[in-house]
Structure 1
Amino acid sequence: YNAAHMAVPGDGPALDDVIDFTRHQLEAIAAKGELRSPLAEQVARALDHPLPRFTKLLETMYYVGEYAQEETHDNTLLELARLNSHLMRSLHLRELKALSLWWRDLYDTVNLPYTRDRMVEVYFWSCGMIPEEEQSRARLMFAKTFGLVTFLDDTYDVHATLEECHSFTEAMQRWDDSAVSILPEYLGMLYIKMLSNFKDFENMLKPHEKYRMSYAKKTFS
């Protein structure tokens, strides 16, 4: 069932048939109450969110607790898994604290109250996309980038006029401090902070990684 959900467009109808068949069988078994814990919880979760489409971080949190219920579990392995979970939680809290302080400063500085306050949501998304412990820098950059995207999304979709949108797009394509002169006053600080944050991103990269910023700027603008 889970393996079939790794299908990609073009794989044909066979895997769709596999999903339909296995789902029907799993639902029937679950309805009869024939599954014991923790398998029952794992099946219920898979029927709701197949494993290839579920956040690895959340699946790990669930599985650590479920593994302890298995008769054949290894106590040493279980203890190491719990320790790793605590370490990851501590890392995530530090990252979220840093991002919250960054976001609050940015939100207050640009002073665009129509923008959604959604940094926690964005960070959760970042953890889902980049769960590895060693990828802390990438998680922070990803979260900050999409925090900036939130300002753009809400400005373009619900607040700015068509003319103001054209002006901001032109400024983004220039990617230069002088372009702030063509923007309405209320968007000037947002533009300046966007440029400065991307400069900060570049400073976070090692010399051999800095070429990536040209692609990031091109995509962002």
Structure 2
Amino acid sequence: MALCFALPSFIPVRRTQMRVLSCRFRIYANLQSPRFERRSGNYPPTIWNDNFIQSLNIEDEHEGKIMERLCKLKKEVSQMICKEELLRDKLEFVDALQQLGVAYHFEDEINCVITNIHASMDHNSPSVMLGDLYEVSLLFRLLRMHGFSVQEDIFHSYFDDKGNCKVKPYSDIKEMISLYQASFLAKEGEEALEKARHYTTKHLTNFLESSKYDNSRLKEEVTHALELPLHWRMQRMHNRWFIEQYKIDKHIRPALWELAVLNFNLMQNLYKKELKQVSRWWTDLRLYEKLPFIRDRLVENYMWSEGYAYDLPENSSYRIANTQAICLITTIDDIYDVYGSLDELEVFTNAVEHWDVTVAAGLPEN
């Protein structure tokens, strides 16, 4: 194949320019050399093809009635939030709203509750107004998750001078779980919380291995907590688990549980619609056919987007666009890490940096 361009004889060329041009000529010449053995990531094919995704059932026949019921439940739950008086009940209500996946409906109410609690704390002796370790840990976690300043000194009455926890390990497993979850919001240098994490992990693990305790529901909660701390989880996945747990909670608020179920089902339908749309785009693009060495991981890429923009229906366009971007980034990553030769990648990088497709004319089609 002829070279991409020729130098007009009337243009003076400096030595540095000639070195650059000769380098480019060498790259294009190498691209035309006999094919070298291509590498492969040996990625297995996707288990979720477009036919399967398009077959997903979307139950939206009664969506209008469901939305009407949802609005009524939101008003009812909003009034319930305002009626709570005890600190423990307020904290547990806010925590339940978050773990059930409906907190975004009550952002103003939650912010008001958390702000008032934080303002009423005695910051010189923050544990005076609080109850047991369960309550302190829950407050600490909620305050930090909402961006409020709270120091680990809030736990000072529960640790000795060396920073070791003074609470007996099996006195209250709920306390252990609450402290365990709070410890993962420790900042650098908060050694007491670091020790609390190791302490609670050890004793919760021992609790699971002990045959003395036959509370299956509590053991399931401990297992779930030890698997991943709360704020590290995919929230919608956790919402699904917590909805089932809340259903059998002796302190269940029926209206809140029903709201969570309806909200989860509506959001699940929305996720299916988004996935179908982005799957049609990916299938029409057919990059995985033209470039068979890349990872065909549309569903995983969508879950990535859903993972950190899961709550608001208004984020639908973002989730779709971000999934598309991740698919293309993954493709480029595989070109660099698996398939391309050094010479090809230099040409490809140059084309991208100059945003000029003509620069990539010498690259192979596949």
Normalising by structure 2, we get a TM-score of 0.47
Matched to 1:117, the amino acid is D
Aligned-pair CA distance for 1:34: 3.0
User: Using a 3 Å threshold, how does the CA distance of structure 1 residues 137 and 39 change in structure 2: closer, same or farther?
Assistant: farther
Q: Which residue of 2 aligns with 1:153?
A: 333
Tell whether the 8 Å contact from 1:156 to 1:165 is kept in structure 2 after alignment. yes
Structure 1 residue 170 and structure 2 residue 350: aligned? yes
Higher relative contact order (CA 8 A, sep 6+): 2
Identity %: 33
Q: CA deviation at 1:185?
A: 3.6
Q: Would you say the 8 A contact 1:29–1:35 is kept in 2?
A: no
Q: In the TM superposition, what is the alpha-carbon distance from 1:29 to its structure 2 partner?
A: 2.3
Letter in 2 for 1:101: R
Q: Is the 8 A contact 2:288 2:295 kept in 1?
A: no
Q: 1:35 to 1:57 in 2, by over 3 A?
A: farther
Taking the aligned partners of 2:230 and 2:197, their CA distance within structure 1 comes to 13
* Alpha-carbon distance in 2 for matches of 1:176, 1:132: 39
CA distance in 2, matches of 1:11, 1:107: 50
Deviations 1:103-156 (A, max 9, x none): 112225871111111001111111112112321111112111110011111111
Q: Deviations for 1:76-95, whole angstroms, at most 9, x for unmatched residues?
A: 11111100010011011001
Query: Which residue pairs with 2:198 in the alignment?
Result: 20
Query: Would the aligned equivalents of 1:164 and 1:184 in 2 still touch at CA under 8 Å?
Result: yes
Q: Quick one: distance in 2 between partners of 1:123 and 1:101?
A: 13
Q: Which secondary structure state, in structure 1, belongs to the residue aligned with residue 332 of structure 2?
A: helix
| TM-align CA RMSD | 2.0
- 2:279 aligned with 1:100: yes
Q: 1:42 deviation in Å?
A: 2.0
Distance 1:111 1:153 in 2: 16
Q: Which amino acid aligns with 2:206?
A: A
- 8 Å contact 2:184–2:229 — kept in the other structure? yes
Q: Distance in 2 between matches of 1:118 and 1:100?
A: 10
Provide the C-alpha distance between the structure 2 equivalents of 1:109 and 1:23, rounded to a whole number of angstroms.
44
Larger radius of gyration: 2
Alignment CA distance shift 1:169-1:110 (3 Å): farther
Question: How far has the Cα of 1:59 moved from its partner?
Answer: 0.9
Instruction: Return the offset for 1:37.
Output: 4.9
What CA distance in whole angstroms lies between the structure 2 residues aligned with 1:116 and 1:166? 22
Structure having the larger proportion of residues in helix: 1
Count of residue pairs brought into register by the alignment: 185
Name structure 1 gaps, 5 residues minimum. Answer: 188-221
Among 201, 222, 226, the residue aligned to 1:47: 226
- TM-score (normalizing by structure 1): 0.76
1:147-173 CA deviation, whole Å, 9 max, x = no partner? 001111111111110011111111111
1-structure distance, mates of 2:301, 2:209: 37
Residue 70 of structure 1, CA deviation = 0.5
Structure 2: give runs of 5+ residues left out of the alignment. 1-179
Contact 1:38 1:69 in 2 (8 A): no
